[in-house]
Structure 1
Amino acid sequence: MKSLKGKITLNFIIVITILVVAGFFGTQMATTKLKMDFINSYKTSLLLDYDEMIKSQVQSSVAILEYFYNLQQAGELSEDEAKYQAKETIKSMRYGTEGYMWIDSLDYTLIGHPMVPDKEGTTRFEVKDPDGNFVIQNIINAVKDPNQNGFTEYLWEKPQDVGTGNLTVKRAYSELFTPWQWVVSTGNYVDHLDNTVHNRTVEIEKNINAVIYTVLSVLLVLALISYVVAMLLSKNLSAPLEKISSSIIENEDGSISIKPIEINSSDEIGQVANKLSILVEQIKTQLDSTGNISHNIEELSRNFLASLNNSKNAISEVSFAVESISSGASEQAMETERGATRALELGEAIKTEQEQLSYLVNEINNIKKIKDAGLSVIEDLKLKMQETNKSSNKVLEAVSTTSTFSDKISFASQTISNISAQTNLLALNASIEAARAGDHGKGFAVVAEEIRKLAEQSAESTKEIESTIKELQQKSYFSLKVMEETGVSLQEQTQAAEASMTNFNSIANEVDKITSRISLLEASSSTVSSIKNEILQVLEGLSATAQQNSAATEEVSASLTNQLHNIEDIKMSSEQLTYLSDSLNEHISKFKI
């Protein structure tokens, strides 16, 4: 719907529909919850009443057992008589239509049962329902466990359902009679409780449905009334608005004509109509003023475009010149950087040469140390050789002296040998003379014999001495020859040491010259390095200046480019302004007030 009346009516219908649906479902949910709460409460109440009923029946049976027990205690009945009469009395008790009692012992033996008397005296420990629950065990355990309060549930067949497999929930209550250790129980099927609850539920649902239908009818009546109110309200609102809409007409040529708005109403819509009339007059005044301003803007825009074109041409020429300067500055900066790079490479080469010179100086200093050590060693060797030469001369003299003494000893040995021979001869003559003298010459003969033996010993000793002297003379002669050769060798070694010392001194002189040259090279290298640093500083300054010039020219070029773009933008804006001015004049001409 395009009309305001239709929209208002539609909105009212949507709102009322939502309210009706929400009310209906809300009522249904609330009543459903109330129904469930009531059913649960009602079922719980029925179950509690049933529990109280079967509990009171069991307690009455226990009171009967108590009565017969008291008779036994009083001596009026024996124990067997009391138990028998009590059992028969319990078996005969009935309540309701199907209620009865039975008795079990704590050892699961059936004491009395009105429905199965043939099983009395048998154990029922293994009796269980189709779900596997041990019925009698659970009943006895419910009596023993105070938390279970004596109640149990199990599945069992009704008398009319025996053999059919139809099972019904049966709820039992049991209580222990301690003196005889009997457990009195009763139980009934509780399906009638479910039937009672079902019937009550059906009755409640009928009442709830009646309430829901009533609420729905009321909501529908309210919806109808609201629809009528919406129609009347939308008519009162839309009529003045239609008059306002009809006062503004769009002509076939696209122009808009506005007629005076006549609404005799003092409500909000009438006030809006009056203010719209005032607004129309103000719009007419503003349109006339805007038309004049638009013509003036159009004229200024055209003049401004002409000025922008002239500025654009001038800036283009300046930008071209700046780009040429920037290109030259960039090339200068690149050449300067290239020179700085070469200077840095030269500095690295100079640094490497300085390091090599330093290494060479260190090596020369090591050579000097080695030379000084060699000279010291040669000097020591020379001194040692001189001392050795002196010692050799002394040994030579001693050997010569020994040879002289050995000659003298040889001469003395020959003399002793001659004396020994003559003594031996004299001893022989003395022995001959003693033999001639007979007994008077025996003592002299003994002396002569001893002298002869001494002469022989002297002769043998003299031979040994001569042999030793000859060997000593031979060794002395050999030692003389060795010492003479050693002396010659020592003289040659001394000459070689002196020559080595001379060579070492020459090497030292040459090393000193090389050291002097290296010092000059180091000084020169330092000077070159200093000059290189100055060149680098100059090149860095030139490079920085060139980069600044290049950056400045680039900034100027960028600024000029931005100005050109701005001029283009301003030009486009001016053209758009001219176009908008024309368009504004065209639109203003469409308003006919």
Structure 2
Amino acid sequence: MGKLGLKILKLIMATYIISISILITANVYIFKNIFSQLQVEVGNAANSAVDVIDGDKLEKVINSKSMDTIDYKEIQSSLVNFKNDQNIKYIYTLVKNDDDIPYMAVDGSLIDTSVFGEEFNLEDAMTSAFNGNVSFTKESKTDKYGTLISGYAPIKNSSGKIIAIVGADADVGIYTYIVSKFKQIYILLSFIMIIAITLISIIFSNRISSNVNNIKDVLNKMSTGDLSVPLNISSNDEIENIAQHINTFRIKTLDILQRVSQSSSKVVKQTNTLCNVSLDITTSSKTVNNSIDYIAKETSVQAEEMVNITEVLNEFGLKLESTANLIYDLNSHGEIINYSVKKSHKTLENLESFIHDLTYSFKDIIIKIKGLNDHLSQINEITDLINDIADQTNLLALNATIEASRAGEAGKGFSIVAEEITKLAEQSKSSCLHINSLFEQIANYNVNIFQASNKVNTNLDHQGKVVNTYIKDFKQIVSHIENMLPKITQINSIIEIINNDKKQILDSVETSTASSQEISASTEEITASVEELNESSQKVVLSVEQLSSITQDLDNYINYFKIV
């Protein structure tokens, strides 16, 4: 068996061991649950048996130590009936002597009945029952009576004292038989499966190893350059697919190598041609280099002319520097003017605010004057009313005079007239009071008008000061502008000189440029040609070297493979 077969065998054995372990664990869990249910059932049976036993009667039997009493018979009968109704094999009562050794009191079996006083071995479950707990044995016990598990429950008399325990035995022989058979089956099945797995793995691995060895032999021959050996495997699986792909690769590689062999001969011929061309290009480039040397000598003459141009440019730069200083000075004056303008703008804003306050004050005066006119109109109305009252008073007084001249009953009319005169007098008094109130309001309005007028006067004074400040700021601006004008004139003069120098520079440059352009044009053409020739020659040489190297490599590769 090869390495592949051993790996397959290990994998299958590991899978089998894991599977059988899971199965055994599941069965153990199931059997333990079944055994636990049996333990609970036998414990419940013992606990239920307590209800059919009269504790006081059992205490009398224990004290009498006789099996011939009526109480013994009754208790035994109750236990026999209970056993027939339950799925248990034995039912009995046990008592503990002074040495803590349990012995038989009443046996619930009619056949092979245990005698009173027969001693038993003390178990943990019995001790727990004597302490007042319902208990059962942890494991099954096999003896002459069979394979049993026991459950125990305490028996109490009417006063609540534990006098004995009741024991119930259940037969679990079938359970233990099934468990042992399962163990035997698992052992036998495991042995058979190991043998079967080993045989299957050997057969399967031998088959795989045979196909793999065929592939390995062909690949070894291909690694030595022999591509003429075909690979044919018929296994109807992935190994057959691998063999087909390897065979396809062999055929394609063989075809490519044949084409490479044909192309390599053509490359060799082309390489020789390129070598000849490169030699011609090298010769031409030497001729062009000689021409460039001649042009270089002519350009030195142009360099002397450029020196003169440089001197003129230096003077031109000094004048530009002077102009820049003047412009910097003008910029300082401009900043001062800008600050003054901003300040004047703020002054104008204050002026606008004062004008707005002045307008509001005049509107207030107009409103108060209008209110004064309204009150004056009311005074006129009251005055007219007083005049009417005066007229009526005169008439009434005339009537009173006439009536007073009469005698007798006519005196009553005089009284009426007198009352009317009194009423008119009261109305006149009320009107006078109203007139006084109106005059007080008029006085208050006059005070307000006086205060508003003072406010207007103050605002006008302040406005005059603002205007004066504004005029001073503009005078300062005008002064700075007057200082700037001579400098601007000086800048214009310098600019005219710079312009003349510029013309001189341009003339020199044009003269130098005209001659240099011709040289430059020729130089550019020659340089371009030289660069192209150099690049071409370099590329040709490089291509030749690469082709030679590639050709050599191709020949080596082709010689490495066996094509026919």
Structure 2 length as normaliser, TM-score? 0.36
Pick the structure with greater CA Rg. Answer: 1
